[in-house]
Amino acid sequence: MDTLQGKTVAFLVAPEGIEQVELTEPWQAVLEAGGSARLVSTQEGQAQGFNHLDRADRFEVDEVVGKASVRDFDALVLPGGVANPDALRMDADAVAFVKAFFDAGKPVAAICHAPWTLIEAGVVAGRSLTSWPSLRTDLINAGARWQDEQVTVCRSGPNTLVTSRKPDDLPAFNETLVTTFAAS
């Protein structure tokens, strides 16, 4: 069944430093569930994926975050990689875009290092989530309840946040984000 039929999911990335599998596998899961996906970035052109530290594929950007509207999307995915969320959290438009999803009560999914951007958006306090282990202290210091598990789903007010630790957790992350996005 096409559980995301008619839904459009934004994938927010920096121009460089995306852990490629954390972009491509959730993207494919959204498409296979009948949804559509759009790549939103801080710059026009292409975004560079990485397989850990090695350059991988390039991906065409559909929309620049400063011109993107949360109204045009039903959900948001934040792929990881170390450099990707580090660059996003330094971009005011990217941070505002993430915060706007929470303000609008739309679901968000983040994997690996992506919760750094959530910290910068000021949306983790009081929420349960997981991440790459090195973010544990950052998240706790920002008021989150960090958990070491494949996937954490936190429903807080009108928002649902799906988080996951690493590429090995992608099957569980993808299944959970599709189910969560379909229910919203």
Catalytic pick from 98, 109, 110, 112?
Answer: 112
The C-alpha atoms of residue 47 and residue 121 are separated, in whole angstroms, by: 22
Asked if residue 92 lies in contact with residue 30, where contact means CB atoms within 8 angstroms, the answer is no
String of DSSP letters for 59-123: EE--EEGGG--GGG-SEEEE---SHHHHHHTT-HHHHHHHHHHHHTT--EEEETTTHHHHHHTT-
Helix 20-32, helix 170-183: angle, nearest 10 = 40
112 is catalytic: yes
154 is catalytic: no
Catalytic pick from 7, 106, 113, 165?
Answer: 113
Which letter, b or e, does each residue of 74-105 get, where b requires 16 or more Cβ atoms within 10 Å of its Cβ?
Answer: bbbbbbbbbbbbebbbebeebbebbbbbbeee
Known catalytic residues are 112-113
